[in-house]
């Protein structure tokens, strides 16, 4: 079997030695299981919370060309740290008949593998969030002092050596011009045409309607220092349009120099709100898109909606019928098809042997804990050696030698090692799980307990191979266990959401 090797280490966690250790473990696994490694990919000093990793993107591209049959990683947290994105990427490779195997967390073959990998993916995300929380503490100290916290410097500003924001005169002039033009009634497109005629660029890049809009709604230009306004990652990607709650955001009026007046900023917001109301469009989300296919022509079933008076009808419809008109297979109501998918998954989850799954998982956890303990010993040894080097350099500093940079390097390395130790100690301290704990984990795969549609989509993509809609509105659902055939007439309408059940439960308790 042809295998691709993928290794990664994060800039805040590990060094080049981590790649070597991962490669060694993967090669041993490949040799033991009679696999030939034909391609190697490694991302160095890049976080796993993003898919925008050069080697990872090459891997996905080469997968399309059929260069390998399986992807080997050391642990699932090397593949990624967001369980939703991991699920979607693994599904993408699965569609190409390529399996992803974490060699240090290998459970063998079978449907139970998916369930136990879900546990590990959840742990990987948990560790990532905890480390991010530790890093956030230092950033919040800077934020309360209105200091620059890294990343791209906002257009119109520059940062001085003391990490304080200052106005960049040439860029600030253009910022004021954009705000004034919008107040005077200019559209985004007319501003862009004007800039193109004058060959005006944004730090060497062309302007766009998006860059203009994001500038106009950014209260920093009115002198408000803002930090922690948006989640660092939303569904695996950055999205500046999604905001955190007010109690999480650091917002300090007057914290940075204002480029436009507060009056002008508020006037522009009134104009933009008026435009937004006129251009408002409703978008509908179809979590099964990409999984549903026509039983007649083989084309995909895509989300579709229609209106009749004040009523809106959501459904999945054959794209062959929609684009070419050469298929007469029927559409399926959105709620009916999604409820059929939910029911198919629930039926299989209810058949899981919790005790057996817990026992199998514990075997892997024990092996992982032993490995993590060995890694913790190595890190502690390196921390001690680093502290020794710092001590020697401090003695040299007292004698007048110029060793400040070397002390700084070793101190930074010590901090990195302490963070790495924190993670491996958590891994080493994982105890055996009980059947009750495993049941809670399995409950996370129960689509009835999910309110977020992206989370629901991730569950569908993890547990459903594909859905085929046959004539007569017969639905065949292929899960990771087996296939489930139903007629849409027998599919019950969606049950109340989980929060509704919780309210009913609370009400019943209050009533005694």
Q: Are 302 and 394 in a shared domain?
A: yes
Query: For 341-352, how does the pLDDT look when each residue is reduced to its tens digit (9 = 90+)?
Result: 999 888 888 877
Q: What confidence score (pLDDT) does residue 8 get?
A: 80
Q: Are 247 and 294 in a shared domain?
A: no
Average pLDDT, the chain: 78
Which CATH number characterizes residue 148's domain? 3.90.1750.20
Q: What confidence score (pLDDT) does residue 276 get?
A: 72
Please give the C-alpha separations between residue 478 and each of 95, 260, 341, 344, 470, in angstroms, as whole numbers: 13, 58, 10, 9, 13
Please give the C-alpha separations between residue 414 and each of 44, 361, 383, in angstroms, as whole numbers: 19, 34, 6
Query: For 345-392, how does the pLDDT look when each residue is reduced to its tens digit (9 = 90+)?
Result: 888 888 777 787 777 667 766 766 776 777 788 888 888 988 888 888
Answer whether 496's CB lies under 8 Å from 511's CB. Answer: no
Helix (H) or strand (E) holding 362: helix 354-398
127 inside domain: no
**pLDDT band at residue 495 under the 50/70/90 scheme:** very low
Q: What confidence score (pLDDT) does residue 263 get?
A: 93
User: When comparing pLDDT for 424 and 127, which is higher?
Assistant: 424
Q: Name the residue with tokens 């049941």.
A: 439
User: When comparing pLDDT for 312 and 247, which is higher?
Assistant: 312
- Residue at a domain's end among 214, 246, 278: 278
Q: Are 234 and 379 in a shared domain?
A: no
Q: Are 259 and 310 in a shared domain?
A: no
User: When comparing pLDDT for 496 and 304, which is higher?
Assistant: 304
Q: What confidence score (pLDDT) does residue 504 get?
A: 35
pLDDT (average), residues 299-307: 87
If DSSP codes are grouped into helix, strand and coil, which group holds residue 67?
A: coil
Query: For 238-247, how does the pLDDT look when each residue is reduced to its tens digit (9 = 90+)?
Result: 445 566 667 7
Query: For 9-48, how does the pLDDT look when each residue is reduced to its tens digit (9 = 90+)?
Result: 665 444 444 677 788 889 999 999 999 999 999 887 665 4
**pLDDT band at residue 180 under the 50/70/90 scheme:** very high
Q: Are 366 and 274 in a shared domain?
A: no
In terms of Cα–Cα distance, which of 381, 382, 384, 389 is closest to 408? 389
151 inside domain: yes
Q: What is the DSSP letter of 234?
A: B
Query: For 423-471, how does the pLDDT look when each residue is reduced to its tens digit (9 = 90+)?
Result: 677 666 655 667 877 777 777 778 888 777 888 888 888 888 889 998 8
pTM: 0.43
Q: Are 274 and 304 in a shared domain?
A: no
Q: What confidence score (pLDDT) does residue 242 get?
A: 60
Number of domains forming the structure of the chain: 3
Which CATH number characterizes residue 93's domain? 3.40.50.1390
Other CB atoms within 10 Å distance of the CB of residue 443: 11
126 inside domain: no
Q: Are 378 and 482 in a shared domain?
A: yes
Structure-token pair, residue 91: 């599904």
435 inside domain: yes
pLDDT (average), residues 391-415: 80
- Residue at a domain's end among 77, 106, 135: 106
Q: What is the DSSP letter of 486?
A: E
Q: Are 268 and 310 in a shared domain?
A: no
Q: Are 188 and 221 in a shared domain?
A: yes
Letter string b/e over residues 30-55, b meaning 16 or more CB atoms within 10 A of that residue's CB: beeeebebebbbbbbebbbbbbebee
The full DSSP string for 83-125 is: HHHHHHHHHHHHHTT-EEEEGGG---SSHHHHHHHHHHHHHHH
Q: Are 86 and 223 in a shared domain?
A: no
Q: Is the pLDDT of residue 403 over 90?
A: no
Q: Are 198 and 298 in a shared domain?
A: no
384 inside domain: yes
148 inside domain: yes
pLDDT (average), residues 255-268: 93
124 inside domain: no
Domain, as residue range, for 26: 2-106
Please give the C-alpha separations between residue 138 and each of 143, 150, 341, in angstroms, as whole numbers: 9, 12, 45
**pLDDT band at residue 488 under the 50/70/90 scheme:** low
Q: Are 157 and 14 in a shared domain?
A: no
Answer whether 182's CB lies under 8 Å from 194's CB. Answer: no
Query: What is the percent of the chain with per-residue pLDDT over 90, rounded to a whole number?
Result: 23
428 inside domain: yes
User: How far does the chain reach from its first CA to its final CA, in angstroms?
Assistant: 62
Q: What confidence score (pLDDT) does residue 170 get?
A: 93
Query: For 46-64, how does the pLDDT look when each residue is reduced to its tens digit (9 = 90+)?
Result: 654 556 788 888 998 899 8
d(CA 218, CA 229): 11
- Residue at a domain's end among 213, 246, 278: 278
* Positive or negative: CA dihedral 283, 288, 291, 293: negative
Structure-token pair, residue 485: 């055939």
Helix (H) or strand (E) holding 443: helix 435-443
Answer whether 427's CB lies under 8 Å from 372's CB. Answer: yes
């Amino acid at each position: 079997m042809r295998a691709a090797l993928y290794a990664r280490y994060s800039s805040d966690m590990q060094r080049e030695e981590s790649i070597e250790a991962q490669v060694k473990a993967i090669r041993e696994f490949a040799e033991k299981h009679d696999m030939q490694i034909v391609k190697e990919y490694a991302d160095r000093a890049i976080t796993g919370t993003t898919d925008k990793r050069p080697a990872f993107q090459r891997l996905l591209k080469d997968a399309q060309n059929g260069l390998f049959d399986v992807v080997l990683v050391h642990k699932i947290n090397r593949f990624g740290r967001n369980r939703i994105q991991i699920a979607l990427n693994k599904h993408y490779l699965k569609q190409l008949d390529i399996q992803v195997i974490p060699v240090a967390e290998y459970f063998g073959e079978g449907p139970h593998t998916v369930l136990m990998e879900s546990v590990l993916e959840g742990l990987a995300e948990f560790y990532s969030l905890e480390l991010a929380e530790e890093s956030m503490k230092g950033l919040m100290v800077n934020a309360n002092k209105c200091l620059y916290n890294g990343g791209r410097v906002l257009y119109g500003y520059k940062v001085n050596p003391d990490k304080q924001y200052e106005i960049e005169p040439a860029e600030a002039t253009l910022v004021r011009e954009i705000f004034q033009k919008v107040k005077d009634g200019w559209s985004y497109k007319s501003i862009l045409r004007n800039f193109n005629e004058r060959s005006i660029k944004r730090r060497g890049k062309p302007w766009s309607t998006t860059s203009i809009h994001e500038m106009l709604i950014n209260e920093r230009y009115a002198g408000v220092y803002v930090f922690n306004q948006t989640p660092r990652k939303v569904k695996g990607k950055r999205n500046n349009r999604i905001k955190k709650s007010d109690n999480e955001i650091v917002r300090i009026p007057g914290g940075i120099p204002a480029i436009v007046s507060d009056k002008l900023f508020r006037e522009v917001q009134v104009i933009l709100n008026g435009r937004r109301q006129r251009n408002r469009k409703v978008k509908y989300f179809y979590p099964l898109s990409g999984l549903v296919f026509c039983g007649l022509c083989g084309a995909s079933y895509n989300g579709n909606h229609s209106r009749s008076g004040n009523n809106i009808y959501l459904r999945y419809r054959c794209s062959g019928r929609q684009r070419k008109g050469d298929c007469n297979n029927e559409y399926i109501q959105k709620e009916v098809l999604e409820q059929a998918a939910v029911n198919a998954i629930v039926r299989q989850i209810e058949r899981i042997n919790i005790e057996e799954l817990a026992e199998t998982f514990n075997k892997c956890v024990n092996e992982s804990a032993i490995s993590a303990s060995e890694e913790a010993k190595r890190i502690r040894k390196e921390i001690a050696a680093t502290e020794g080097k710092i001590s020697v350099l401090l003695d040299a500093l007292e004698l007048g030698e110029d060793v400040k940079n070397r002390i700084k390097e070793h101190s930074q390395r010590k901090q990195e090692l302490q963070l790495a130790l924190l993670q491996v100690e958590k891994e080493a301290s994982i105890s055996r799980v009980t059947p009750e704990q495993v049941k809670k984990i399995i409950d996370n795969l129960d689509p009835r307990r999910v309110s977020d549609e992206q989370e629901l989509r991730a569950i569908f993509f993890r547990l459903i191979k594909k859905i085929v809609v046959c004539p007569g509105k017969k639905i065949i659902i292929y899960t990771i266990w087996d296939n489930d055939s139903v007629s849409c007439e027998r599919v019950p309408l969606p049950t109340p959401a989980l929060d509704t059940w919780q309210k009913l439960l609370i009400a019943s308790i209050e009533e005694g």
